[in-house]
Chains A and B, each alone.
Chain A
Amino acid sequence: MTALKLSNVCKSFGKTEVLRNIDLEVDEGEFVVFVGPSGCGKSTLLRVIAGLEDATEGSVEIGGEMVNQVPPAKRGIAMVFQSYALYPHLTVEGNMALGLKQEGQPRAVIEERVAKASHMLSLEDYLKRRPSELSGGQRQRVAIGRAIVREPKLFLFDEPLSNLDAALRMKTRIEIASLHKALDASMIYVTHDQTEAMTLADKIVVLRDGAVEQIGAPMELYNNPANRFVAGFLGAPSMNFLPAETLGGAAGHTIGIRPENLRIAEDGQISGTVAHVERLGGDTHLLVRTPAGDEVTVRIFGQSQIQRDAEVTLAYDPAEAYVFDADGARV
């Protein structure tokens, strides 16, 4: 069964079009990530699904029911916000229970679900505390707990990790992944971080300027991007783009090569000077400037002794390169 179906969803604020003709289906139990640069409309799309914004056009179906006219609380969704958005006047327990109380659930059910969720998130010791007495990571767990207790048909996450520091972000990312497994729930997750998208998603939706660029499994998008934007957005360091003419291709076309597919070789097709070296221990990143002024990133596994200003030639396998036409579409 489909957990969510969007058909031709459009949204505009006055004359500004924010979302254009979005079609999307999310299967039950699927983890879908909306990813894109800031201002691409991914958060607005999430808010349309949540019912916090009305779609200007198109329909939103959750669990097979059309919900365009249904208020957020009755859509069977739960949302986790970037800023946690905990109720400052309520305890952790009160924060988690409020939604259920509003639904008119009996007290026994509320207590049982809060107990279950707080056990799952190891929040048992904090139930009587107020949000101001918790650390950032604990607050985020309470926010997730508040979503879990409602047992929604669809979880919505709006950049939930961007207020956490790097170490905690990774930990919480793994927690969310295992939570998805444990609950077997449908989840939609908005982020601008491609690492989060790649690691969490069953299906990634890449958005740009309010339109869907490509939908697919993470590795499918990585290995087979539909256009230059998707190719450049996924993968870190991002893909190198060179004018095809310099490499013997058609005029106007662009050749894209992933940094890990380039290697230093005597008979390489690309020559240039090393402009910068980043040594990460496990990897070494070289920034090579070609005589034509293009910059190419090379990812070398392990530690390389290469120095700045060294002259190098780079080789790549044409089978691993991507060709894009002048409009950015894949050839």
Chain B
Amino acid sequence: MNKARRNPLNTAAAHLILLTYTVIALFPVFVILINSFKTRKAIFREPLALPSAETFSTIGYETVFKQGDFFLYFQNSMIVTVCSLFFILLFGAMAAFALAEYRFRGNTLMGLYLALGIMIPIRIGTVAILEMMVATGLVNTLLALILVYTAQGLPLAVFILSEFMKQVSDDLKNAGRIDGLSEYTIFFRLVLPLVRPAMATVAVFNMIPIWNDLWFPLILAPAEATKTLTLGSQVFIGQFVTDWNAVLSALSMAILPVLILYVIFSRQLIRGITSGAVK
């Protein structure tokens, strides 16, 4: 920012607001983390206290690793999230490119149709989806989840990406055509790198709901071999007794991969290699 426009009071106020928000946003995570390292009694006695020498305990993590196949759940969640994101971005970007780039009859209508899903929650169709999965024998497979999440994520992806693709310079695509690049090369090599920030936005939007979802794993893939992390953690929550140590430990570990994915994508958001293509 320009020095002349920098008012110390404004800067301080802005920082204060941002810091307050950061604290509010991070507080639940912080509470989960500290309590996951405490004994059960300590959790209930003083939930906000940091673990001390007396209250420190890794019993929660031990339970998690002993009971149930935590690593398998973890792996399942990872596979489902990464594959779904991959397909959402791939097919979403392809559809968006077609809508933004080619003039054909019913273009606008097709765009509206593809975006319609934003307004209709996919959970309304749960029964039908379950019936379909039973009919195709996909129940209790990770593929079932990947398919459903891809369908769930596509409308917003198409909507956001087609807006961004319209902004990619026509000249650049035409230059590629004159140089003999195929439409696929133009799409993958010229257009996709330029809409990378939009792709990262779509990825972040979709990643967290998929990772945290309990609904579809519970209905479509509740088998031991296909349980996701969120579903797996539910074994510690009983109707009468809840093993809070284990739940908090499982949650603490579940935060980690999303955090890593988020860092990867947000770097893409910031990185600007796009300058210089067109004036």
Contact = CB atoms under 8 A, between A and B. Distances in A.
B190 A87 contact: yes
Contacts of A139: 276, 279
A139 B103 CA distance: 30
B180 A103 contact: yes
B276 A79 contact: no
B174 interface: yes
Contacts, number: 87
Nearest to A136: B279
Nearest to B273: A88
- Among A85, A99, A136, A158, max chain B CB count under 10 A is at A85
Interface string A10-43: 0001000000000000000000000000000000
Contacts of A13: 103
A82 interface: yes
Interface stretch (A126-134, A229-237, A243-251, A290-298): A126-134
A216 interface: no
A134 B178 contact: no
B180 A99 contact: yes
A85 B172 contact: yes
B178 A87 contact: no
A83 B189 contact: no
Nearest to A79: B178
Contacts of B194: 88
B276 to A, nearest CB: 3
Contacts of A78: 178
Given A85-B278, A88-B276, A79 B174 contact: yes
A331 B177 CA distance: 47
A50 B178 contact: yes
Interface in A106-162: 130-134, 136, 139, 146, 158
Contacts of A322: none
Contact of A88 (B103, B171, B274, B279): B274
A87 B169 CA distance: 11
B279 A163 contact: yes
B278 A99 contact: no
Interface residues on B, range: 20 to 34
B277 interface: yes
B278 A89 contact: no
Contacts of B169: 83, 85
A73 interface: yes
Interface string A51-82: 11000000000000000000111100111011
Contact of A81 (B175, B190, B193, B273): B175
Nearest to B275: A132
B181 interface: yes
A84 interface: yes
B147 to A, nearest CB: 33
B193 A82 contact: no
B105 to A, nearest CB: 10
B48 to A, nearest CB: 50
B171 A132 contact: no
Nearest to A88: B277
A102 interface: yes
- Among A88, A98, A130, max chain B CB count under 10 A is at A88
A84 B180 CA distance: 17
Given A52-B177, A99-B179, A99-B180, A85 B171 contact: yes
A83 B279 contact: yes
Given A85-B171, A89-B193, A72 B273 contact: no
A219 B179 CA distance: 36
Nearest to B173: A85
Given A99-B179, A102-B179, A102-B180, A131 B174 contact: no
A86 interface: yes
Contacts of A158: 171
Contacts of A85: 169, 171-172, 174-175, 277-278
A47 B189 CA distance: 23
A86 B177 contact: no
Interface in B146-198: 169, 171-172, 174-181, 189-190, 193-194
Contacts of A74: 180
Nearest to B194: A88
Contacts of B180: 72-74, 99, 102-103
Interface of B: 103, 169, 171-172, 174-181, 189-190, 193-194, 273-279
Given A85-B278, A132-B277, 13 more contacts: A50-B178, A73-B179, A83-B171, A83-B172, A87-B172, A88-B274, A88-B275, A88-B276, A88-B277, A131-B276, A136-B279, A139-B276, A158-B171
12 contacts: A52-B177, A71-B177, A73-B177, A73-B178, A79-B178, A87-B175, A88-B194, A88-B274, A99-B179, A103-B180, A132-B276, A146-B179
Q: Which 5 A-B pairs have the closest CB atoms?
A: A132-B276, A73-B180, A102-B180, A85-B171, A99-B179
